[in-house]
A and B are shown apart, each in its own frame.
Chain A
Amino acid sequence: MTTETLTHGRRLAVPAKYVPILVTACLFAAMFVAGGVRYEGFASGQVILNVFIDNAFLLVVAVGMTFVILTGGIDLSVGSVVALSTMISASLMAGPGWPPYLVIPLVLLIGSGLGLVMGYIVHAFDIQPFIVTLAGMFLARGLCYTIGTDSIPIEDPTFTAFAQTRIDLFADLWISPSVLIAAVVVLGAAYVLHYTRLGRGVYATGGSEQSALLMGLPVGRTKITVYTISGFCSALGGVLLSFYMLSGYGLHAVGMELDAIAAVVIGGTLLTGGSGFLFGTVLGVLVLGLIQTIISFEGTLSSWWTKIFIGLLLFVFILLQRLFSARRRN
């Protein structure tokens, strides 16, 4: 009791669970202001919208990753499933000339199916998620190369229309349809996490699998479902990436699983599971995107600085998480 009142008094009555998100939000604001002061034409709404436009696919993938990490698992296969989705849609439309309204559902089905199988193996055979999804990563990448080793262009009118459409908002601001899709995914996922039985199950499983099991929650079903959701999100991310790139290629999205995990961690979700918010993940993706924007505005900085900055940020945020969780325990 005393610790609670103490922390409340010291921290302006912000519940401890929102602190990581607040830190990320402050960081984002600070980066944006710093960029606006330093570079001409940086402080505009369109810069933020561009971050969304360039990272819509990462956002969708990171949403799926959030579900998995909230249960205390991890999904290394997302990048490969994204690549596989671009490859399948490109080859099916280029070769046999399948229409998009058949290709897209099929791709989503394949992604979800892969996730379902991985989730089942994790749950039923009690093998570490790390290893299972690693095998999934190899499998999906291998399937890409089996389909073809070259980049396949997408010339389908529906896809090009999706790539080129600009949805005008007020005052010269615009977004792409991908951003809309990503927004729908985020809102839908937030609803599922906070207002449904599945969502409660996800948090409970991540908090303590043993307690969740003893409470009679369907832990196995929850685990299988989150990997299926992650597979679905990766496939959808792949579709969005093929809108963006207009090609299918086995080397698309290499290392994207790291970006997705980094976004989730920077967003304040605990990797041990059970604590975190989807909104934090959105902020995490924004921070990652803004780093890239700043580096491209700077012009003279080489691309590898992105990696070093992301690594530093990860370090700072993990240290913060560590501090908060240590303080909560005392």
Chain B
Amino acid sequence: MRRLLWPLVVLALLLVVNVIFTPTFFSIQMREGHLYGSLIDILRFGAPLILVSLGMTLVIATGGIDLSVGSVVAISGALACLQISQDAGVLTAVVLALGLSVLLGAWNGFLVAAVGIQPIIATLILMVAGRGLAQLITDGQIITVNDPAYKLIGGGYWLTVPFGILLVLAVLAVTVFLTRRLALGMLIESVGGNAEASRLAGIRSRGIVIMVYAFAALCAGIAGLMISSNVSSADGNNAGLWIELDAILAVVIGGTSLAGGRFSLGGTVLGALIIQTLTTTIYSVGVPPETTLLFKALVVTAVCLIQSPAFRDKVFRRRGRPPTPRPAAEEKVRVTA
């Protein structure tokens, strides 16, 4: 729980700032059978980011990183919209898009686990080529679709709640169940801690790594469906642009170490919410939206510095506890890579 303290403080601070500037910030209304309100908006617009960050958390927990999720978001949205515009059923479109996403993720996992390429580079390939692939699918155009069933995924409501939020809750529940109720989470952490040692201990680390990348891509695929369904169109060039960076930030803000071996799903959700709330805050406070990135940079730096043991030792001069020895951390990264 202590790991979640700082992200919680930051999120609370952001919410307080919002309430000061817009006193009605916390009010949630019922209009035409739908829930409305700033908090609901944060959840709704943050849904794709939360999804992508969830997948990213597991990848980072194995000591990897996935830069290609933004491209997968674009590809999945593009393929689904293309199918629907060619009169395929929504279900076929969704299944095809998600299937392709999982395939792309498995490809990433194959490169990392079987070929042994550094994760950052292995996924860089798909990050660069995937954008091209998405544009190839849409033929460089923006495909617009008009299908009420497809619209539900990202823009619709179900039982008065935006469908996207329910989708996120479902994925979150399944992930928490799989990783915290079953042994899977521990296996993932063990692979992230030391892949070779886990293999010797009888864990099929290859299979786990491939599965984790496939899961990250599946999450990105769902997020891609949400984003394209929300705007009823697919844009191969700009959909999900830089979402991988936001997702990595969310994971880091949530207290998951980039070195792998540990992860916190709750922290990641908090991290994603902080990023989304930050964007909302900037609009509601009336700061020009151009400076969003500036604020993001400041918050990221602040959160990372606070979480760095070296920084806390230097600034707060904690007594009695020596700083975490560097060499140990260094060695672990080596072995994982």
Bind each other: yes
Contact across chains for B121 and A311 when beta carbons are under 8 A apart:
no
Given A128-B258, A138-B293, A138-B294, CB of A304 within 8 Å of CB of B136: yes
Interface string of B307-325 (1 = CB under 8 A from A): 0111100100000000000
Residues in chain B near residue A145, CB distance under 8 A: 290-291, 293-294
> Is A134 part of the contact surface with B, judged by Cβ < 8 Å?
yes
Residues in chain A near residue B236, CB distance under 8 A: 304
Residues in chain B near residue A121, CB distance under 8 A: 301, 305
Could you tell me the distance in whole angstroms from the C-beta of B243 to the nearest C-beta in chain A?
Answer: 13
> Is A171 part of the contact surface with B, judged by Cβ < 8 Å?
no
Residues in chain B near residue A271, CB distance under 8 A: 118, 120-121
Smallest Cβ-Cβ distance to B136: which chain A residue: A304
Q: Which of B127-135, B172-180, B191-199, B264-272 contacts A (4 or more CB under 8 A)?
A: B127-135
Interface string of B282-302 (1 = CB under 8 A from A): 000000101111111110110
> Is A209 part of the contact surface with B, judged by Cβ < 8 Å?
yes
A-B contact pairs, 25 of them (CB 8 A): A74-B120, A121-B301, A124-B310, A124-B314, A125-B311, A126-B329, A128-B258, A130-B120, A131-B300, A137-B245, A139-B293, A141-B293, A142-B292, A142-B293, A271-B120, A304-B132, A305-B132, A307-B131, A307-B132, A307-B135, A310-B129, A311-B128, A311-B129, A322-B116, A326-B116
Could you tell me the distance in whole angstroms from the C-beta of A315 to the nearest C-beta in chain B?
Answer: 5
> Is A199 part of the contact surface with B, judged by Cβ < 8 Å?
no
Given A130-B258, A142-B297, CB of A311 within 8 Å of CB of B130: yes
Residues in chain A near residue B227, CB distance under 8 A: none
Contact across chains for A322 and B300 when beta carbons are under 8 A apart:
no
> Is A146 part of the contact surface with B, judged by Cβ < 8 Å?
yes
Given A210-B327, A308-B133, CB of A272 within 8 Å of CB of B118: yes
| Complex partner residue of A125 from B124, B136, B295, B308, CB under 8 angstroms | B308
Smallest Cβ-Cβ distance to A117: which chain B residue: B301
Could you tell me the distance in whole angstroms from the C-beta of A158 to the nearest C-beta in chain B?
Answer: 29
User: With the chains together, A315 CA to B311 CA distance in Å?
Assistant: 38
> Is B212 part of the contact surface with A, judged by Cβ < 8 Å?
no
Given A138-B294, A271-B120, A304-B140, CB of A311 within 8 Å of CB of B308: no
Given A304-B140, A319-B115, CB of A310 within 8 Å of CB of B311: no
User: With the chains together, A145 CA to B296 CA distance in Å?
Assistant: 13
Interface string of B103-131 (1 = CB under 8 A from A): 00000000000011110111011111111
> Is A258 part of the contact surface with B, judged by Cβ < 8 Å?
yes
User: With the chains together, A210 CA to B329 CA distance in Å?
Assistant: 11
| Complex partner residue of A322 from B115, B132, B292, B293, CB under 8 angstroms | B115
Interface string of B324-337 (1 = CB under 8 A from A): 00110111000001
Residues in chain B near residue A149, CB distance under 8 A: 290
A residues apposed to B, CB below 8 Å:
74, 121, 124-128, 130-132, 134-139, 141-143, 145-146, 149, 209-210, 258, 261-262, 265, 271-272, 302-308, 310-312, 314-315, 318-319, 322, 326
> Is B75 part of the contact surface with A, judged by Cβ < 8 Å?
no
| Complex partner residue of A314 from B115, B128, B327, CB under 8 angstroms | B128
Contact across chains for A139 and B294 when beta carbons are under 8 A apart:
yes
Given A272-B337, A302-B140, A304-B135, CB of A314 within 8 Å of CB of B125: yes
Contact across chains for A311 and B290 when beta carbons are under 8 A apart:
no
Could you tell me the distance in whole angstroms from the C-beta of B331 to the nearest C-beta in chain A?
Answer: 8
Residues in chain A near residue B305, CB distance under 8 A: 121, 125, 127
Q: What is the number of contacts between chain A and chain B, taking CB atoms within 8 Å?
A: 134
| Residues of B in contact with A, size category | 35 or more
Residues in chain B near residue A210, CB distance under 8 A: 327, 330-331
User: With the chains together, A127 CA to B326 CA distance in Å?
Assistant: 11
> Is B225 part of the contact surface with A, judged by Cβ < 8 Å?
no
Contact across chains for A312 and B297 when beta carbons are under 8 A apart:
no
Residues in chain B near residue A308, CB distance under 8 A: 129, 132-133, 136
> Is B239 part of the contact surface with A, judged by Cβ < 8 Å?
no
Within 8 A of A (CB), among B186-239: 236
Contact across chains for B294 and A135 when beta carbons are under 8 A apart:
no
Contact across chains for B300 and A142 when beta carbons are under 8 A apart:
no
Contact across chains for B252 and A310 when beta carbons are under 8 A apart:
no
Residues in chain A near residue B293, CB distance under 8 A: 138-139, 141-142, 145
Given A124-B310, A210-B330, CB of A131 within 8 Å of CB of B258: yes
Contact across chains for B304 and A135 when beta carbons are under 8 A apart:
yes
| Complex partner residue of B125 from A74, A136, A272, A311, CB under 8 angstroms | A311
> Is B248 part of the contact surface with A, judged by Cβ < 8 Å?
yes
Smallest Cβ-Cβ distance to A258: which chain B residue: B128
Residues in chain B near residue A322, CB distance under 8 A: 115-117
User: With the chains together, A137 CA to B125 CA distance in Å?
Assistant: 21
Contact across chains for B330 and A209 when beta carbons are under 8 A apart:
yes
Given A124-B314, A307-B129, A311-B130, CB of A318 within 8 Å of CB of B304: no
The 10 lowest CB-CB distance pairs between A and B, nearest first, are A311-B129, A307-B132, A142-B293, A142-B294, A145-B290, A139-B297, A304-B135, A308-B132, A138-B297, A304-B132
| Complex partner residue of A318 from B121, B290, B309, CB under 8 angstroms | B121
User: With the chains together, A314 CA to B248 CA distance in Å?
Assistant: 23
> Is B249 part of the contact surface with A, judged by Cβ < 8 Å?
yes
Residues in chain B near residue A306, CB distance under 8 A: 132
User: With the chains together, A124 CA to B311 CA distance in Å?
Assistant: 8
Smallest Cβ-Cβ distance to A315: which chain B residue: B125
Residues in chain A near residue B288, CB distance under 8 A: 146
